[in-house]
Structures are given as structure tokens and as C-alpha cells.
Structure 1
Amino acid sequence: MQLPDAVEALSALAHGHRLAVFRLLVRAGAEGVPAGEIAREVGVLPNTLSTHLNILGHAGLIQSRREGRSVIYSADFEGMRNLLEFLVSDCCGGRPEICAPLAQMAEATQCCPSR
């Protein structure tokens, strides 16, 4: 990921409703969530949600698919990994103890079990 892409992704997440939407979609996993349910969960009007979803999609953080008449949104986990990798790629400056807690946290969470 290049700096302009990281800035766009971070800017997209720098809004309370968009961050709430992204976190909801991350929790939902690959199944995703229909737009109407996202609006109810986050507490925004559908037209406002549409704007937020477009911003997150343009930033490469979410994706959508059509199922019948519904549009299902899900987190773009590749985009999320790219952003996280960008954020920690220069971590530590040769001092691994600085970033060790991040690795331990990732291993300890139920969503990211070590293999």
C-alpha cells in the first residue's frame, strides 16, 4: 500500500459512523450484512449510509455483492490487511519489544488464532 492509499483509508475510518460500519462488517465476516440492517445497527438514514458505504468502498475497505434485491456489504479483509501492514511495516526501528504487544494481541484474539 502506498501513502496516498493509506491516507484515503485512514480518512475513511476517521468518522464515527463509518468506523462503526467497518467494525460491524469486520465482525460479520465474509457473510456480510444487508444495507438496511447496517443502517439500523449504526443508526443512520439510508441515504446517509449510502454515502458512508461509497467512501469506505472507494478506500478499499469494504466490498458489496447483490443477492436478489438486497445489496450485501462485507469488509474487504485484503484491504484491511494492507492498511495494517502499512501501519506496522516500519514498526520498531530495530527494537522488536515496541511491537511485540501487537503480535501477542493478534495471537490472543479469537479472530486470529495462530496456526
Structure 2
Amino acid sequence: MPAAVFGAQVAAWDGGCLPLSDRTAVADLPAGYEGNIFRIDYRVPRDTRATVLRDGRRTEVPLRAGRDRVYLPAGAGSGPVRISVQDDGVCLRAVVLGMAVPEEVVSGGAG
């Protein structure tokens, strides 16, 4: 379900891509709390995978062509978030950490 995530974010300027070093983006975000999630906005030319590493926890996530974001539990933790991608051509546009609310609620839609 599409969600608005309220919290801290690191985003590329003007719809661009976060810088990658050795196929890894680093997002310096504040500490997360239980119940927080990550939202990663991206563009990919074909289905691929990413590895999200924070505070010693590693999570594998699919990045699907034709979609533009993925959500995953953040849990309590601190330190930078490292997102490593497997393929060239991946554009990580933003990383958001915070509380999620269904977009229908935020936009005033029925549901």
C-alpha cells in the first residue's frame, strides 16, 4: 500500500540520483525507533536487488522495474544507512526514515 513517511530524509536534487560509490549510497539519518520504516525511492531499468545495512542489520530488498519505491521495517537503530545495489543503471532518488501513514489518509481519499 502506498504510504507517506513522515520523518528524516536524504534526497537527490531535482529528481536526480544519490551519489554511489562502489554501487553503494550512504544516507546519514537520525536514530530510528521501533515501528519506523524506511522508504527508498528509486528508478531501475530492470528488476534487481539491493542490500540495506544499518546498525549491523542487513536486509535484502527487491527493486522492481515499473515501480518507484519500496518500504521496509527500520526498527530501532542508529548510524548511517548503506544501500548497495547489484546492477549498473540503478538510480536511488531518496531514503526516508520515519512513521508511515497510508497515502489515502494524507490525501483525504476514502478508504
Fold conserved between structures, TM > 0.5: no
Q: Which one has the bigger helix percentage? A: 1
Higher RCO structure (Cα 8 Å, ≥6 apart): 2
TM-score (norm 1): 0.25
Q: Which one has the bigger strand percentage? A: 2
